[in-house]
Structure 1
Amino acid sequence: MPTPSLPADPLWPRAGNWPRDIDGPIDLALVGIPTWRTSLSPTSAHATPAAVREALRRFTPFAASVGGRNVDDLVFADFGDAVEPDGPDGEPPARELMADAVRHAAVTVALGGDNAATVPAALGAWGNDITRAGLVTLDAHHDLRDGYSNGSPVRRLVEARLDGRRVVQVGIADFANSRAYTDRARDLGITVIPRDALYGRPMADVMAEALDLAGAGGGPIHVDLDVDVCDRAVAPACPASVPGGIAAHELRTAARAAGADSRVRSVDITEVDALLDAPDGRTVRLAALCVLEVAAGLAAR
């Protein structure tokens, strides 16, 4: 849904509208990977990267909690969207677009798309470092399914030689997984921090633990922010979100922690179907805020 005309105020700058062509180093790059065709649930997640870019305009780049600075003092660049990134033919160009952004930027944020976007995003970011790389997912689901879908990215990355002992899954929910895939996670050596373990524990502490485990190989870390980890009240545009998921502020804290850690080279934000959002656009706005939280973390490095 297009954003209505927003008031203009020279003292109220707006985030977004980042350029493509930048000379010199880039702090944060944005890439769209609008996967949707292999989703287990009907979705229009391919509409989400554009919706998130539009939603960024609703926010300012000012973060009082980061030394009272504008995060767009950083150098931002938008590398555009991968074209038809689903499937064996679509993934390689999406992976190369991600790799191009990662070569130029300190941190690259990939906008999905469903969770299938995590495969080209992570592989593009890691390159030949996959055997040393680490993965942190914030997700209600293990994503270890057989086959080729938005339910299989973690399994596919492990099969591509990611060490399961450097995979940490935060927010795994009861009644949203099966015994078989829970057993598979255990057998692969994946560390699972379930939803129930997060009650009363600060997300910043959880992320510190998760990033240390994922970074044990000395390689780059990719963080997958699957927004369906959130409570359905704040993420109605996520087909598989459940009541009782994490709060919006917890996801934002995780995004900032990812941006603040120098071992994190890439982040993805997935599983939002912009066309299913509530009338107030709360899920898409949360995704846009996660982009800004990554930037705030990066600004604090």
Structure 2
Amino acid sequence: MTALSHDPLWPRAGDWPPLPADPAERVDLTLIGIPTHRTSLSPTGAHATPAAVRDALRRYSPFVVPDGGASPFVDLGALVFADVGDVPAPDGPDGEARAIRAVAQASARSGVLVALGGDNAATVPAALGTWGENLATAGLVTLDAHHDLRDGVSNGSPVRRLIEAGLDGRRVVQVGIADFANSAAYTARALDLGITIVHGDELHRRPMADVMAQALEIASAGGGPVHVDLDVDVCDRSVAPACPASLPGGIAAHELRAAARVAGACAAVASIDLTEIDATADTPDQRTVRLAALCVLEAAAGLAMRRLPQTG
């Protein structure tokens, strides 16, 4: 990464400290890396992505511009952040168990936990570690071109595996499911499990904020914590070229950012992940990695907005 300019009046995001030594001290948002990649259905260097996103965070400021001067001033500097680093070797049964424990320890002290994948296999430990004993009442929202209901253990199976672990399919909402990216068998499986599907074409007609509000209402109906999986291959390939399975015609970068902010603002959301980016395959301008970094900040902005006075 090239050297960045220094301006005392323009603070940079990122470079967050580890969790405080005092276990009684809580933080607002904790970052954790879960660099899964070994079971990916397509070759990937996704294990390099958490470090790349951390570098990209420093390109941005922790400040949200007021909307037309009417919205309250939001400075993320008022939040307490922590970064617990990466889970070592999180693939395989032992690695996944290690990741679940690390997530559980971090999320127990955090308002929201944001997990950086890795491929989509990271969603399993990110969700299970956050839900803990609340699995039976938990909910899941995915932004993904794919159902991720495949058999076996891979980046194509996390939703199936979470449901088999005890998640109620009726509290799963999949936003952005794409044509020519799934099969009849897996779509039928999703419907049989009671999963709510929001087809990608619907997103051309409905604002993302409205779609996410409905999705989060369904996912939180059990009263338990909600995990939001932001699989970046839901985006158009022009903005997510480092996602091996992204398609032309996916959602726009601003829509993914909007989804991240709505998720952060929802009191039921306990954790969010960002997955399926291969940082080693990104364009020279790092557009995919930079989008992921902005989604981290959007989630933080949403979290900050939970504290603002509600009107209307």
TM-score bracket, normalised by the shorter chain, equals over 0.9
Task: From 99, 102, 127, give the equivalent of 2:104.
Answer: 99
Task: From 227, 235, 244, give the equivalent of 2:240.
Answer: 235
Taking the aligned partners of 2:52 and 2:208, their CA distance within structure 1 comes to 27
Taking the aligned partners of 2:171 and 2:73, their CA distance within structure 1 comes to 35
Worse overlay, 70-79 or 131-140: 70-79
For 1:222, the equivalent position in structure 2 comes to 227
Does the alignment pair 1:18 with 2:43?
Answer: no
Aligned residues: 299
For 1:53, the equivalent position in structure 2 comes to 54
Taking the aligned partners of 1:259 and 1:4, their CA distance within structure 2 comes to 30
For 1:5, the equivalent position in structure 2 comes to 3
For 1:74, the equivalent position in structure 2 comes to 79
1:215 is matched by which residue type in structure 2?
S
For 2:273, the equivalent position in structure 1 comes to 268
Taking the aligned partners of 2:253 and 2:215, their CA distance within structure 1 comes to 19
Taking the aligned partners of 1:136 and 1:293, their CA distance within structure 2 comes to 17
TM-score where L is the length of structure 1: 0.98
Taking the aligned partners of 2:247 and 2:82, their CA distance within structure 1 comes to 34
What is the CA-CA distance between 1:73 and the residue it aligns to? 1.2
What is the CA-CA distance between 1:200 and the residue it aligns to? 2.3
CA contact (8 A) 2:74 2:305 kept: no
Does the alignment pair 1:253 with 2:248?
Answer: no
CA contact (8 A) 2:74 2:301 kept: no
Taking the aligned partners of 2:138 and 2:11, their CA distance within structure 1 comes to 37
2:51 is matched by which residue type in structure 1?
A
Percent identity, aligned pairs only, is 71
For 1:290, the equivalent position in structure 2 comes to 295
Does the alignment pair 1:211 with 2:216?
Answer: yes
For 2:120, the equivalent position in structure 1 comes to 115
**What secondary structure is seen at the aligned counterpart in 1 of 2:262?**
helix
For 1:39, the equivalent position in structure 2 comes to 40
Q: Which runs of 5+ in 1 are unaligned?
A: none
Q: Which ranges of 4 or more aligned residues in structure 1 deviate by more than 4 Å?
A: none
Alignment of 1:96-245 (within 5 A): 96-245=101-250
1:73 is matched by which residue type in structure 2?
A
What is the CA-CA distance between 1:11 and the residue it aligns to? 1.1
What is the CA-CA distance between 1:21 and the residue it aligns to? 3.5
For 1:277, the equivalent position in structure 2 comes to 282
CA contact (8 A) 2:145 2:176 kept: yes
Taking the aligned partners of 2:129 and 2:293, their CA distance within structure 1 comes to 22
Taking the aligned partners of 1:21 and 1:36, their CA distance within structure 2 comes to 26
Taking the aligned partners of 1:215 and 1:70, their CA distance within structure 2 comes to 28
For 2:309, the equivalent position in structure 1 comes to none
**What whole-Å deviation, never above 9, does each CA across 1:242-290 have from its counterpart, x for those lacking one?**
0000000000000000000000000000000000001100000000000
What is the CA-CA distance between 1:233 and the residue it aligns to? 0.1
**What whole-Å deviation, never above 9, does each CA across 1:11-56 have from its counterpart, x for those lacking one?**
1110000000324220000010000000000000000000000000
Taking the aligned partners of 1:291 and 1:68, their CA distance within structure 2 comes to 19
Indicate the RMSD between aligned Cα atoms, in angstroms.
0.8
What is the CA-CA distance between 1:144 and the residue it aligns to? 0.2
TM-score where L is the length of structure 2: 0.95
Taking the aligned partners of 1:57 and 1:79, their CA distance within structure 2 comes to 17
Q: Which runs of 5+ in 2 are unaligned?
A: 307-312
Taking the aligned partners of 1:82 and 1:89, their CA distance within structure 2 comes to 12
Taking the aligned partners of 2:120 and 2:165, their CA distance within structure 1 comes to 17
Taking the aligned partners of 1:152 and 1:25, their CA distance within structure 2 comes to 33
